[in-house]
Amino acid sequence: MSEPKRFSGILSPVVTPFGADLRPDAARLARQCHWLLSQNCGLAVFGTNSEANSLCIEEKIELLDALVEAGVDPARMMPGTGACALPDTVRLTAHAVKRGCAGTLMLPPFYYKGVSDEGLFRAYAEVIERVGDARLRIYLYHIPPIAQVPITLDLIERLIASYPDTVVGIKDSSGDWSNTEAMLNRFPGFTVFAGSESFLLRNMRGGGAGCISATANINPAAIHGLYAEWQSPQAEALQADLDALRGVLQKFPMIPALKATVAHYSGDDGWHRLRPPLVELSEDQRQELLAALSERNFTMAGLPELAGA
């Protein structure tokens, strides 16, 4: 049995394409994943930006199977597997391990608010015990602006103490650098991903592993560029460039903006679709976004050829 390697570098919460019937489109998703891998970008499929919580467990299992069958390397996949209900999290996580995924990104159960660390500890512990597979590697997913259920430092400490070989890392999407810094300082050896490339340079300087970021869907090579050269003299300039592009995207709702960008640069209109409760950009927003990208001479190298394949 091979030991899963720790993730590092850049991962994208891959946006999920839907057909006209709002079903996920596995073939389009596989093409996108291959392109991202070609850009040195790992695959945090089923993340927040993947509309993963708008997919049911069966859909995620089918997509995961389709990706592996399409030749997408599971060693580069960190699927999101955390759901509200324990059996759902167990089922999807066990399937991801079985398919060889080198890790899973795990939300806490997120319906009930104001829950205790004891309750969240039990939730993660039950998943680990029930999956019962030594290959399981969990990256905790701290995203309080959306999940509204935080993963505290004390909870992380307790999970690492109880499951040191399983609970190996975290994605910090708090947007609060002081929280990421506290994790880096308090848990040496823990694999800490920033939740956005805005914090990539600081995270690397602090001993972090990289970032898992929405905009890696459209700008993976440049983000990886900073990851590769964070110790070089031009690192600050690279960070500033990334921040500027992210600034363009952040003027719009992020997920529809990512999909509009992929749709435009791939010439594939199907990418516009979102599942309710999310909605596509208005035509005005889309034009404004594309104009701003064009003004920056933005490109997605290699994408149109692959999408047209």
Touching its own copies, residues 203-242 (CB under 8 A):
none
Touching its own copies, residues 99-158 (CB under 8 A):
108-113, 115-116, 118-120, 122-123, 126, 145-149
The residues near 231 (Cβ < 8 Å, ≥ 6 apart) are: 204
User: What one-character-per-residue DSSP string does 182-251 give?
Assistant: HHHHHSTT-EEEESSGGGHHHHHHTT--EEE-GGGGT-HHHHHHHHHTTTSTTHHHHHHHHHHHHHHHTT
Site size with its own copies, rule: CB under 8 A: 39
CB of 171 to its own copies, least distance (A): 16
> 148 near 120, Cβ under 8 Å?
no
CB of 163 to its own copies, least distance (A): 15
> 36 near 49, Cβ under 8 Å?
no
Tokens in use for 43?
Answer: 């695959």
CB of 268 to its own copies, least distance (A): 22
Touching its own copies, residues 43-62 (CB under 8 A):
48, 53-59
User: Pick from 143, 147, 127: which is nearest to 180 by CA?
Assistant: 143
**CB of 59 or CB of 73, closer to its own copies:** 59
Touching its own copies, residues 9-28 (CB under 8 A):
22
202 binds its own copies (CB under 8 A): no
Counting every residue written for the chain, the total comes to 309
User: Pick from 194, 130, 196: which is nearest to 166 by CA?
Assistant: 130
Segment contacting its own copies by CB under 8 A, of 83-91, 177-185, 197-205, 290-298: 83-91
CB of 199 to its own copies, least distance (A): 21
**CB of 172 or CB of 280, closer to its own copies:** 280
Q: Rounded CA gap, 10 and 43, in Å?
A: 9
| H/E element, 169 | strand 167-172
**CB of 24 or CB of 74, closer to its own copies:** 24
> 155 near 149, Cβ under 8 Å?
no
**CB of 11 or CB of 92, closer to its own copies:** 92
CB of 97 to its own copies, least distance (A): 19
| H/E element, 63 | helix 57-69
Per-position x/- string for 274-303, each x denoting binding to its own copies as judged by CB under 8 A, each - no binding: -xxxxx------------------------
- Please identify which residue in 19, 71, 87, 189 interacts with its own copies, judged by CB under 8 A: 87
Residues found near its own copies in the complex (CB under 8 A):
22, 48, 53-59, 84-88, 91, 108-113, 115-116, 118-120, 122-123, 126, 145-149, 275-279
